[in-house]
Chain A
């Protein structure tokens, strides 16, 4: 148990108290652990249920979703009709708007948008994070304090004029508003600086400098390879954020061909509560979530550690 814990937290936990506690197991503890498991398992079911209802809903015929009593499993077995409709595989449909709804295109758009945004973010934030972590130069502290101070600026305060600025730059219906303004962020610089301070020894940088390496070489040949793990954490947090972003993209990406999958799904849903096409929306939602689920399961440990340790020390 103790090793399991120390793998999650940077602070090692001594095994001695655990061993002592194990010896003193009594009836009261068995009951309280039993209640704890019961509670956690019930809560897990509640937590998983929305996922389940999304997946199973995407595999049900439309009518099944509008029965007076919802069912856990489609009575006639699961069907891929909703996916075939969305992907327009050998079906003809009379559903309005579906002809113009290109789910794969939207997912591709989202992936493109998020990937470029994240590559830029990670590069520029690592660059600045390195400088603030390892270099000495005039006004360094003031410049860094200013970066931290900008984090206090409320999003809403310049949102309307920012939107107007995007229009004036001719950036409506482009991905530039998601790539350029966020390429260097206060949070990212701060996080990378903390990572670099605690990971890379000064001597390494110093000896490289003495050997005549230029700053850009030090960053690309020494810092970035060592910091790959930290860059991945920053990148994934950024990727999830940008991939799921809605406010700005719903206002800027109006053209059908350029929409992200979030905007397209929201648009397909509409804002009225009347007769939504749940089967299609669920199928679209499942397809839109798959890329992030994949990322999540590949980098699960890194994400969780990033949030538990690095991200909160702000």
Chain B
């Protein structure tokens, strides 16, 4: 870089500098070729299996195509069909949003309460309970769906037997809208709450105990301690979990497919299921368009969550009050 010093001054000099710089950067890169080689697999795979399908998907979503036939350009027709003609997208979207509205608060809230309980200072058997709640992690969605289908069976299941003992039911858990949605919620909570508890516990245990002692000296009750110390400090973790849980719910497929198959009458149909249905019925153009609409929805919801939740209930915010 310094070699340019004997060159004439002015614009020419700057040009030379740039060229020299570019050349030395290239030389530097060549020197580090092994490093680039080591990280190259990710970029190559992402180009082939991420970017290429993305570009192909844009073309596909604007075309009508079936394997072995020519692709016909149809403009925005697939999107028009999906949004205005086909009632399934709107219905699946509403189902997904409804599930988000009740699964996110109950799932994350429940996990947080359990984590706080497991974090109790003198609890014996903490790791036993922790492991136990986490155990469903090893099961697959397929197997859980099989087990829950039997537990929730209208005639032979345990849930209705117990409800019958207190004079309720029998509830048609898998064949009516609201019970079916509750069934799916139960299944997801059973499978996922252990992981959420672990993440919350990790966050809770990283909070300095002295903060609680200080709060105690100031006469704060345990509820006040939770609201003013615990919650503001685990809020970043909370935001992270809201976002990942949202994405997981929007991509929900196997439990619903196997437990209710989207029924009764499409009331538990999820967005991802609808997209797979379009794909397996060889409506590739619409399927690709559906993917872009879903991607847009995911990004929009994520951005809204980041915008509205990141400034929410912070330590600073509480101090201002």
Does A101 have its Cβ within 8 Å of any Cβ on chain B? no
B238, chain A: closest CB distance, angstroms:
11
- Contact A243 B140, beta carbon cutoff 8 Å: yes
Q: How far is the CA of A99 from the CA of B120 in the complex (A)?
A: 54
Q: Which residue of B lies closest to A66 (CB)?
A: B156
At the interface, is chain A mostly helix, strand, loop or mixed? helix
In-complex Cβ contact of B138 among A155, A293, A304 (8 A): A293
Question: Inside 8 A of B56's CB, which chain A residues have their CB?
Answer: 161, 164-165
Q: How far is the CA of A168 from the CA of B252 in the complex (A)?
A: 27
Residues from 272 to 321 in B contacting A, C-beta threshold 8 Å: 272, 275-276, 278-280, 284, 287-288, 290-292, 294-295, 298-299, 302
- Contact A304 B130, beta carbon cutoff 8 Å: yes
Residues from 164 to 203 in B contacting A, C-beta threshold 8 Å: 174-175, 190, 195, 198-199, 201-203
Q: Which of A157, A271, A282, A314 has the most chain B CB within a 10 Å cutoff?
A: A157
Q: How far is the CA of A293 from the CA of B203 in the complex (A)?
A: 26
Does A276 have its Cβ within 8 Å of any Cβ on chain B? yes
Question: Inside 8 A of A262's CB, which chain B residues have their CB?
Answer: 140, 142-143
Question: Inside 8 A of B251's CB, which chain A residues have their CB?
Answer: 155-156
Q: How far is the CA of A139 from the CA of B225 in the complex (A)?
A: 46
Q: 1/0 contact trace for A110-147 toward B, CB 8 Å? A: 00000000000000100110111001011100010001
- Contact B146 A150, beta carbon cutoff 8 Å: no
In-complex Cβ contact of B198 among A47, A181, A240, A304 (8 A): A304
- Assuming the contacts A183-B41, A186-B42, A307-B195, asked whether A68 and B138 have C-beta atoms less than 8 A apart, the reply is no
Does B7 have its Cβ within 8 Å of any Cβ on chain A? no
Question: Inside 8 A of A47's CB, which chain B residues have their CB?
Answer: 132-133, 135-136, 190
- When A and B form their complex, what is the total count of cross-chain residue pairs whose Cβ atoms lie within 8 Å? 285
Question: Inside 8 A of A295's CB, which chain B residues have their CB?
Answer: 138
- Contact A292 B25, beta carbon cutoff 8 Å: no
Q: How far is the CA of A143 from the CA of B67 in the complex (A)?
A: 37
Q: Which of B32, B67, B148, B203 has the most chain A CB within a 10 Å cutoff?
A: B32
- Assuming the contacts A271-B261, A308-B201, A309-B202, asked whether A36 and B38 have C-beta atoms less than 8 A apart, the reply is no
Question: Inside 8 A of A131's CB, which chain B residues have their CB?
Answer: 35, 38-39
Does B149 have its Cβ within 8 Å of any Cβ on chain A? yes
- Contact A312 B209, beta carbon cutoff 8 Å: no
- Contact A158 B147, beta carbon cutoff 8 Å: no
Does B141 have its Cβ within 8 Å of any Cβ on chain A? yes
Question: Inside 8 A of B174's CB, which chain A residues have their CB?
Answer: 273
Count residues of chain B with CB under 8 A from any CB of chain A. Answer: 103
Residues from 64 to 123 in B contacting A, C-beta threshold 8 Å: 67, 114, 117-118, 120-123
- Assuming the contacts A137-B28, A158-B50, A183-B41, asked whether A22 and B195 have C-beta atoms less than 8 A apart, the reply is no
Stretch at the interface among A9-17, A77-85, A226-234: A9-17
Question: Inside 8 A of A165's CB, which chain B residues have their CB?
Answer: 49, 52-53, 56
Residues from 28 to 65 in A contacting B, C-beta threshold 8 Å: 33, 36, 39-40, 43-44, 47-51, 53-54, 57, 65
In-complex Cβ contact of A40 among B117, B157, B271 (8 A): B117
Q: How far is the CA of A5 from the CA of B125 in the complex (A)?
A: 11
Further 5 A-B residue pairs, CB within 8 A, beyond A219-B38, A285-B143: A128-B39, A131-B38, A180-B45, A307-B195, A312-B199
Cross-chain pairs A/B with CB under 8 angstroms, 28 sampled: A8-B130, A8-B205, A11-B206, A21-B122, A43-B133, A50-B144, A50-B147, A70-B157, A128-B39, A131-B35, A137-B28, A137-B36, A154-B299, A155-B247, A156-B275, A157-B295, A158-B53, A159-B291, A162-B53, A185-B42, A219-B38, A262-B142, A266-B145, A266-B254, A278-B146, A288-B143, A304-B130, A308-B202
Give the 7 A-B CB pairs with smallest separation, nearest first: A157-B295, A308-B202, A9-B205, A244-B140, A137-B32, A161-B53, A184-B42
By a beta-carbon cutoff of 8 Å, the part of chain B in contact with chain A is: 25, 28-29, 32, 34-36, 38-39, 41-43, 45-46, 48-50, 52-54, 56-57, 60, 67, 114, 117-118, 120-124, 126-127, 129-151, 155-158, 161, 174-175, 190, 195, 198-199, 201-203, 205-206, 209, 213, 237, 240, 247, 250-251, 253-254, 257-258, 261, 271-272, 275-276, 278-280, 284, 287-288, 290-292, 294-295, 298-299, 302
